[in-house]
Amino acid sequence: MNIDRARITQMITLEISGLQALLDALAKRGYRVIGPKLRDQAIAYDDISSVRDLPAGWTDEQEGGHYRVTRRSDDALFGYAVGPHSWKRFLYPPIQQLWRARHKGSAVSVTPVPPSAERFAFFGVRACELHAIEIQDRVFMNGELADPHYKARRENAFVVAVNCGTAGGTCFCVSMNTGPGVKRGFDIALTELVEGGAHRFVVEAGSDKGREVLAALPQHAAKPEEIKAAEAVVAKTASSMGRAMKADDVREVLMRNLDNPRWDHVAERCMTCGNCTMVCPTCFCMTVEDSSDLEGLETSRSRRWDSCFTMDHSYVHGGSVRGSAKARYRQWLTHKLATWVDQFGTSGCVGCGRCITWCPVGIDITEEVAAIRNSESR
Amino acid sequence: MAPVTEKKAAVTVHDPMLPRVARVRKRQRDLADVWTLNLEMEDGELLKFAPGQFNMLTVFGVGEVPISISGDPAEDGGGLVHTIRAVGTASGALTRLGLGAAVGVRGPFGTSWPVEEAKGNDVVILAGGLGLAPLRPMIYSVLANRRHYGRVALLYGARSPEEILFRSELEQWRRRLDIELQVTVDHAETDWYGSVGVVTTLVPRATFDPHNTVAVVCGPEIMMRFGTAALRKAGVPDQSMYLSMERSMKCAVGLCGHCQLGSAFVCRDGPVFRSDQLGSLMTVKEL
Ligand SMILES: Cc1cc2nc3c(=O)[nH]c(=O)nc-3n(C[C@H](O)[C@H](O)[C@H](O)COP(=O)(O)OP(=O)(O)OC[C@H]3O[C@@H](n4cnc5c(N)ncnc54)[C@H](O)[C@@H]3O)c2cc1C
Ligand code: SF4
Ligand code: SF4
Ligand code: FES
């Protein structure tokens, strides 16, 4: 059943076949569709073309330093939280060549690597991840000095968001006011309903692009009880957060505690491996590398993700400014939760919990903040 | 933190990470490991700049480093004069480039010395080692508009007599009666007749009215810390002191994260900061 465009301002319901039609519609419009897939014992973001690519019936167990995929009792397609990947790797690839220079005799011509024309459709973007993208927009699309590579990929992207039906063990989006329901920044948003053998998606368009895609899908107008059930899914998730952090005054708490002994305590555990920065969907640090072919006829510069946990990050001639693990952990945490606010008018943390889960020793951002906060009242 | 000093010159390139090609037109050895390079843009642009700003210089196939502009803002091409100490891979490669060699240039970037704010005040210029190079455009500006300023003191410290930068210019400035020049060295053999001691010891000896003074400080971080302390002790308020911070820089446009100092991106909100705006950022260790 196709319904006309004007009526699709309302919520609709898709069956599994409708979801497949959505994937097909995106592919047909030339999008490269990326979505969750079970890969190497984790739920990763990868190319998908079929509903069968999605991790049906899987969930994840997450704790400090612990991640494991396990079976669910139902066939939910989105019944897990976020995995080690974030959409950052598509909007801001880990390695990006910036320019090439050709050397001929003494002549040199520098040519920029053109921004990618790739059009991504992100399928299954969580509320916290939408916020993370919004945060990176502020970093990379800052007016006259905007990054052309990020800008091109971002402006071409189509976003299919999904309201979370299961909170991860390390999630704290409720504290950061970034989830578990999506509010803005999507073209299409889904809420998955799996109960009593029925498997449906309550769907909402967030943009004209989204409305246009939805218009052609087999669907029915969402029934009031379906909309109610969708709202209940989000409410239930919100009430089962794995973690919490008091966030309203965290900036002030951290900035007046730059010499707190807790930094020494965390430094004894932190291996400065930088995992937390790699999995974090907002961390944006990068470094550049120049290379040259053997004859020096072509040279180039690339940028790649970097981490404030490396010694190199703050290296100036004579040594690193932040030589100790303590200084580097403090830089990371205060940047995320405090100085980020001064720089970009928003926190740098969306409460996705990845840094907790993927820390090999289970260092927990919420616990570190609480410890510093509690040390004040002692 | 808000940008501190005067307006930034417009960045003319559109892809902010794309260098433009310049050529080495003149190279001069200043010290055993320090060279001044005069560059010229292939597209002829003269690169307007404000004293205190820096460029990102690329040796193709080697790397890119931030280098302050040390030229005269009143001269054509002054924005393409750089004084470089060979300390590592890229800086070393820059100093080894021959005449006509290609250099990639991005810039100018960053905030500038308070050339305008200082007008009507005494000016204290406190330089340590190579820190004299980023201050030289400020010195040129002040001397070119000398009547707009009160007393001017240039206090310079080098490690040893052999390490004194821009010797012939210092001699010229010494001969001027409208600038007080004092030079000291940390260590010297017997043939040095000047002062011995760290540069901060020159502060109490200089003549200036601390309440109507603008002080600019550039040198190693530790020297700037002691330098601002000496000025503070002499009665100069932090609101009247400016210093130029050095941090790792990979982009110069607020994207790579390397240059962060508290909430400031030194490349964009600095390198020149007013001392009171740095505040505790200078005293917390390893920030
Ligand atoms: C705003 C500003 C203005 C400046 N102005 C001037 C100026 O006018 N004149 C001047 O001479 N200098 C100036 N400098 C300093 C100059 O930029 C550095 O000396 C230069 O970047 C050194 O680079 P290099 O490749 O030669 O040194 P290297 O030490 O070879 O390389 C530095 C880089 O290599 C890596 N690295 C090398 N060794 C190590 C190690 N042991 N551990 C970790 N990482 C390492 C790091 O990534 C580091 O960023 C300025 C710096 C700034 C920020
Ligand atoms: S700091 Fe941790 S919880 Fe916050 S956004 Fe980054 S990875 Fe997620
Ligand atoms: S906090 Fe954990 S993940 Fe982050 S650098 Fe330290 S050990 Fe690695
Ligand atoms: S040098 Fe890259 S952010 Fe300042």
- The pLDDT, as a whole number, for residue B189 is 82
- The pLDDT, as a whole number, for residue A378 is 64
A20-25 mean pLDDT: 98
B216-233 mean pLDDT: 96
A134 has which bridge partners? none
User: With a 6 A CB cut-off, is B243 part of the ligand 1 pocket?
Assistant: no
Q: Which ligand is nearest to the CA of B250?
A: 4
A130-159 mean pLDDT: 94
Q: Which CATH superfamily is domain B20-109 in?
A: Translation factors (2.40.30.10)
Does position A7 have pLDDT exceeding 80, yes or no? no
Does position B3 have pLDDT exceeding 70, yes or no? no
Tokens 């002549």 label which residue? A107
Nearest alpha carbon to residue A22 among A120, A123, A90: A123
- The pLDDT, as a whole number, for residue A359 is 98
Residue A69 in 3-state DSSP? strand
Ligand 4: nearest atom to the Cα of B256? 2
d(CA A165, CA A154): 26
Please check whether residue A285 touches B, CB under 8 A.
yes
Could you tell me which residue, B155 or A142, shows the higher pLDDT?
Answer: B155
Question: In chain A, what are the domain boundaries?
Answer: 5-92+116-238, 250-285+307-375
Residue A355's contacts (CB-CB under 8 Å, 6 or more residues apart) are A275, A276, A277, A279, A280, A363, A365
Q: Which amino acid, A8?
A: I
Residue A42 in 3-state DSSP? strand
Q: Is A285–B285 a contact, with Cβ atoms under 8 angstroms apart?
A: no
Residue B10 DSSP symbol: P
Please, which pLDDT band fits residue B283 given cuts at 50, 70 and 90?
confident
Q: Is B250–A140 a contact, with Cβ atoms under 8 angstroms apart?
A: no
All residues of chain A having their beta carbon less than 8 Å from the beta carbon of residue B287 are: 258, 321-322, 327, 331
* Mutant choice from A96, A102, A108 vs B, greatest count of B C-beta within 10 A: A108
Q: Nearest residue on chain A to B109, judged by CA atoms?
A: A145
Domain boundaries B122-244, CATH class: alpha beta
All residues of chain B having their beta carbon less than 8 Å from the beta carbon of residue A148 are: 15
Selecting from B18, B248, B284 the residue whose C-beta is nearest the C-beta of A99 gives: B18
Q: Interhelix angle for A365-377 vs A262-269, to 10°? A: 150
Q: Which of A1-10, B9-18, B39-48, B53-62 has the lowest mean pLDDT?
A: A1-10
Centre of ligand 1 to C-alpha B80, Å, is: 19
Q: Nearest residue on chain B to A256, judged by CA atoms?
A: B280
Identify whether the C-beta of residue A106 lies closer than 8 Å to the C-beta of residue B102: yes
Give this complex's ipTM: 0.91
Length of chain B (residues): 287
d(CA B167, CA B31): 10
- The pLDDT, as a whole number, for residue A198 is 87
d(CA B171, CA B152): 16
Residue with the smallest CA separation from ligand 1 atom 21 is: B65
Minimal CA separation from B1 to chain A, in Å = 7
> Residue B164 phi/psi, 5° resolution?
-75, 120
All residues of chain B having their beta carbon less than 8 Å from the beta carbon of residue A144 are: 11
Summarize pLDDT for A181-223 with one digit per residue, the tens. 999 999 999 999 998 778 999 999 999 999 999 999 999 999 9
- The pLDDT, as a whole number, for residue B7 is 43
Question: In chain B, what are the domain boundaries?
Answer: 20-109, 122-244
Q: What tokens does A252 get?
A: 């002030």
Residue with the smallest CA separation from ligand 2 atom 2 is: A355
Q: Is B102–A106 a contact, with Cβ atoms under 8 angstroms apart?
A: yes
Residue A338 in 3-state DSSP? helix
User: With a 6 A CB cut-off, is B254 part of the ligand 4 pocket?
Assistant: yes
Strand (E) positions, B91-168? 102-109, 122-128, 152-158
d(CA A323, CA A309): 10
- The pLDDT, as a whole number, for residue A206 is 95
Measured over the CA atoms of residue A324, residue A326, residue A329 and residue A333, the dihedral's sign is: negative
Does position A158 have pLDDT exceeding 50, yes or no? yes
Please check whether residue A326 touches B, CB under 8 A.
yes
